[in-house]
A = this chain, B = another copy of it.
């Protein structure tokens, strides 16, 4: 998906404002298994995934718990860095070599202060992030691991070929043994 389309889908901008956003964005390639947003570090950038797949995870004691996978078109940020300019909690890692657009948060924020349209774009960006997280929470509250596994397959049919089952089990909030039982049961 083109970055311009990702931007316009959030909140339509006139050429002039769009140009301002594009002028502070750059496309980068990140190789496989690279942690580009790191717990306890300040993240200077907001990223938009264009190609590839990433995992967002947190550390609980010594094990990693996967909160979500990111697919093309989605924004990826360290929430605490973006919102408070402080060190964050999430790790985000590429699971495949990925292409993404990054924007320096500081530059974006100065656009927010100087353009009503871009401030509203930033508002819609935040609002859509609310819906994304809300969706995750709802899924967690209302659906069984088995249902969530089947939802994931429906959304990304070949994810089991791209992401190992241990990661998917972590995302579902069950052990890999339980996921194996779910898989055995579905067939």
Contact = CB atoms under 8 A, between A and B. Distances in A.
Given A120-B112, A120-B119, A173 B141 contact: yes
Copies of this chain in the oligomer = 2
Interface of A: 58, 60, 65, 67, 79-80, 82-83, 89, 112-116, 119-120, 122-123, 126-131, 133-134, 136-138, 140-142, 173
Contacts of A123: 112, 119-120, 122-123, 126
A128 B82 CA distance: 11
A131 B80 CA distance: 8
Nearest to A141: B65
16 contacts: A65-B142, A67-B137, A82-B127, A83-B130, A113-B116, A113-B120, A114-B116, A119-B119, A122-B123, A123-B126, A130-B130, A130-B133, A133-B137, A137-B137, A140-B140, A141-B173
B83 A141 contact: no
Contact of A116 (B116, B134, B142, B173): B116
Contacts of A60: 141-142
Nearest to A114: B116
Contacts of A173: 141
Contacts of A83: 127-128, 130-131
A37 to B, nearest CB: 14
Contacts of A141: 58, 60, 65, 67, 140, 173
Contacts of A142: 58, 60, 65
A106 to B, nearest CB: 15
